[in-house]
Amino acid sequence: MITFVNKTEEGFQEQLDNFLTKAASYPNLGLSATKLTNLRKDWELNRSLIQCTKSGMTYMNGIYAFKNILRKGGNLGIMPTIPELPPIPAITNGGMEKRFRDIIQDAVRSPAMTLAIAKDLGIVATDTSSKKNAVDVKPSFKIKYSSGGHPLIVWKKGPFEGIEIQKSNDGINFSKLDRDYKPDYIDKSDLPAPATAEVWFYRIIYLVNETEHQGQWSDVQKISVGG
């Protein structure tokens, strides 16, 4: 049985949450209550730090857009304010991923473990070497600024033909922006009017047979852009 740990920040957090929520349903696995408790503390701390990171990135993107307006001219408006961060839970020790991997191995070594249980716990690796076996594949990507200030979507092609990119101005209502068959992609949409800034949200999904969606939508990423 090939196990896996999600490589993305939010994916890893979701995997931990799923595992911790469902592990109690399988007492026959004999997992250590102490290890599960400590892992829950890791999860709570990591959740808080992810929230802090998102707030910090939004603030920094806003500052970057503010700086661009200062350089190019226009009404600066109100400078972004430093966000109020959530309370930080008890600090644990470094090595959260190793502790998770250890308890995964404890589960796998249990005589009561089955493939169905492993799938329910979300610890079975998905074979993405073949498009036919990639029904659950979830792409990841990063957003940077291109030389012209437009968002640059950095993604990896893997065994797939390309991606469909959807865009939103509110992070909820998405519409198709484009399809891309060769990394990376620059969103050349018109930038906001001078002296203004906006937050643009993106998500992607892999394509097969040129236009067919494969797997799941990625986690949503966002970036601030200024005119």
How buried is 131 (Cβ within 10 angstroms: 0-12 exposed, 13-18 middle, 19+ buried)? middle
Closest by CA position to 221, among listed 147, 153, 161: 153
CA 222 centroid distance within chain = 11
Asked if 192 and 225 touch (Cβ cutoff 8 Å), the reply is yes
> Distance from CA of residue 95 to its chain's centroid?
20
CB 185 within 8 A of CB 165: yes
**Per-residue pLDDT tens digits of the chain, which is 227 residues long:** 678 888 778 889 999 999 999 999 999 999 999 999 999 999 999 999 988 988 888 888 888 888 888 888 878 888 888 888 888 899 999 999 999 999 999 999 999 999 999 999 999 865 544 444 456 789 999 999 998 889 999 999 888 889 999 999 988 899 999 999 999 999 999 988 887 889 999 999 998 877 888 888 999 999 999 87
Q: Do the Cβ atoms of 155 and 184 come closer than 8 Å?
A: yes
